[in-house]
Amino acid sequence: MKVFGVVGWKNNGKTGLMERLVREITSRGFTVSSIKHAHHSFDIDHEGKDSFRHREAGAQEVLLSSRSRWALMHEMRNEPEMTLTALMQRLRPVDLVLVEGYKRDNHAKIEAHRVSTGQKPIAFDDDTVVALASDVDLKGLKQPVFSLDDTNAIADFILAHVGLT
């Protein structure tokens, strides 16, 4: 499977860019899965629900299933966080896996950047950032810079970069 990442500091537009890229690339006939890194604990179920109660009782894994979707929750229970490589091995094969976050991993990435956040682009110090999507024309970068809203051009770049064109 091909993999390409979307990184950036908080509130720079990563999730919106991911959403637009998934929609654009799947509309071109490619299969896409996504992985999102969270820096905090999270729940996809809620207190009082059966699945929550199963986890709280000590279940290592809880699988929820319906006619519309299924979800597997795995409680880490003091295990180390899984690597991106290990997580990708759990996915069904697709043409492209888009990864939001995991900025320290070694896969190619595009950085979402908004000048209003006041953050210096990661791309200045990270060679795995092969392009930027920004709301301003950034100077002094060796990587190409796309308009943050130019989803078509960004998708073209990603697909070419991973060899899916």
Cα gap 140→81, rounded to integer Å: 36
Each domain of the chain, given as residue ranges in start order, spans: 2-40+80-162
For the stretch 23-67, pLDDT in tens is 999 999 999 999 998 866 666 777 888 888 898 888 888 888 889
Residues 132/143, Cβ–Cβ less than 8 Å: yes
pTM of the full structure: 0.89
Q: Which CATH number fits domain 2-40+80-162: 3.40.190.10, 3.90.226.10, 3.40.640.10, 3.40.50.300?
A: 3.40.50.300
**Residue 130: in which H helix or E strand, if any?**
strand 129-134
Q: Is 74 exposed, middle or buried (0-12, 13-18, 19+ CB in 10 A)?
A: middle
Residues 100/122, Cβ–Cβ less than 8 Å: no
